[in-house]
A = this chain, B = another copy of it.
């Protein structure tokens, strides 16, 4: 299994995005506790979902640059590609 080594240049940006998403979910939870309008909640959830999509795309790009290319260079691409294809099947719809 490959992990996110220092070859992943977007790692910090991914962590920042996840921290923002976490705060956004907490804010929507608080809006729900306050009894806020259902439509507002749905709009915020759609925004969170878009942010998750953006974060996933960044992870995927980082992975392609950081892991896959390195694996191809070392002739070790078969398992990396197989795992990546499984992730793409789950993540992209």
Contacts and interface: CB of A to CB of B under 8 A. Distances in A.
Within the oligomer, what is the number of copies of this chain?
2
Tell me the dominant secondary structure on chain A's binding face. Answer: helix
A25 B22 contact: yes
A63 to B, nearest CB: 4
A5 B37 CA distance: 9
Contacts of A37: 1-4, 83
A28 B51 CA distance: 14
A36 to B, nearest CB: 6
Interface of A: 1-5, 8, 11, 14-15, 18-19, 21-22, 25-26, 28-29, 32-33, 35-39, 41-43, 45-46, 48-49, 52-53, 55-56, 59-60, 62-63, 66-67, 83-84, 86-88, 90-91
